[in-house]
Amino acid sequence: MKLRQITRPRSFIFTLFGDVIRNYGGEIWIGSLNQLMGEFGLSEQAVRAAVSRMARQDWLKARRVGNKAYYSLTEHGRRIIDQASPRIYHDRSAAWDGHWRIVTYRIPERQRSLRDRLRKELIFLGCAMLSPSTWLAPHDVFQPFRDVVAALGISEHVDAFMAENVGPHDDRALAARCWDLPAIERAYREFVAAYRPRLERARAAGPPPAENTCFVEREWLVHDYRKFLYLDPGLPDHVVPAGWPRAEAVAIFTDYYRLLLPRATRFFERVYRAAPPALGGVSASG
């Protein structure tokens, strides 16, 4: 199989932290990370450059023990992954209670960068723009929204509501106005087209793939699937077109992930080196 090229190393390393490293204490030696990312064709120089930049951007923090550097998620990075994980590993098409969650904000122009950060956070939470300062989501996002508000220190600039749509436009029209439904559907179909043949081949009789191959395939699977965090908040079935392919994509992801998990895990555990306990370690930048 031709090795896929990673175009955004920082994003892929974040996938690795969220899918695997967080389950092993959340910290990894840079040497182990280099070896793992080498399976995807990344050089040690590229990995070190990526994690150093992630540290500057408050996604990762570093700890030096002797001559070894260990990287872990910052509080900000953990919050993002804690919000993302349930939406990745559990079906997001929960029964809808018929209420939209609405967020409004009034952030002065002089704080434009803060407003832009809030918008990015709202998109990640599954909100879409109804009007320039009013966003909505189909499911309860209030607790993670409160976490965002606290982290950004903007409580005096925001309000949140739960509301029922009483017209004149129905919920289907509202969803079509706020979300790009054709683009979401296309993304789901592309995912299904890419991974259904892989799943079918993996299920077929024959020798199982090498453990490192399973690891690489599993991380690409998660990396490709997590883009739906930004596309589909789990829109209710009755507001999306007939034949909506989300259920098929969810089933393929779940089944393929479970199939790859044992051998991928064995490879990771051979490479991973547990970090020593923190005993007043000195922060490092690389």
Query: Does one domain contain both 66 and 147?
Result: no
Helices (runs of H) and strands (runs of E) counted in the chain: 11, 8
Q: Where are the alpha helices (DSSP H) in 59-101?
A: 75-89
Angle subtended at Cα 83 by Cα 181 and Cα 244, rounded to the nearest 5 degrees: 25
Query: Does one domain contain both 260 and 250?
Result: yes
Task: Confirm if 61 and 55 have CB atoms less than 8 A apart.
Answer: yes
Query: Does one domain contain both 259 and 204?
Result: yes
Query: Does one domain contain both 140 and 185?
Result: no
Q: How many domains does the chain have?
A: 3
Phi, psi (degrees; rounded to nearest 5) at 178: -95, -30
Q: Is residue 243 part of a domain?
A: yes
Distance, C-alpha 165 to centroid of its chain: 30
> What domain range is 255 assigned to?
180-271
Query: Does one domain contain both 150 and 197?
Result: no
Q: Is residue 140 part of a domain?
A: yes
Q: Is residue 107 part of a domain?
A: yes
Task: Confirm if 98 and 164 have CB atoms less than 8 A apart.
Answer: yes
C-alpha pair distances (Å), 55 with each of 27, 51, 52, 226, 273:
13, 6, 5, 22, 20
Q: Edge-to-edge, what's the strand order for the sheet holding 27-29?
A: 27-29, 68-73, 60-65, 282-283
- Residue 143: CATH number of its domain: 3.30.70.240
> Peptide bond preceding 168: is omega within 30 degrees of 0, i.e. cis?
yes
Q: Is residue 38 part of a domain?
A: yes
Across the chain, where does the E strand assignment appear? 27-29, 60-65, 68-73, 100-105, 128-131, 134-137, 158-163, 282-283
Local confidence pLDDT in tens for the 286 residues of the chain: 456 889 999 999 999 999 999 999 899 999 999 999 999 999 999 999 999 999 999 999 999 988 899 999 999 899 889 888 888 888 766 678 899 999 999 998 889 899 999 999 999 898 999 998 999 999 988 988 998 999 899 999 999 999 999 989 999 999 999 999 999 999 999 999 999 999 999 998 777 889 999 999 999 999 999 999 889 999 999 899 999 999 999 999 999 999 999 999 999 999 998 778 765 544 444 4
Q: Is residue 213 part of a domain?
A: yes
- Residue 30: CATH number of its domain: 1.10.10.10
Query: Does one domain contain both 198 and 253?
Result: yes
Query: Does one domain contain both 152 and 192?
Result: no
Query: Does one domain contain both 266 and 276?
Result: no
Q: Is residue 86 part of a domain?
A: no
Q: Which two tokens stand for residue 15?
A: 């996938």
Query: Does one domain contain both 200 and 262?
Result: yes
Q: Is residue 169 part of a domain?
A: no
Q: Is residue 121 part of a domain?
A: yes
Query: Does one domain contain both 258 and 199?
Result: yes
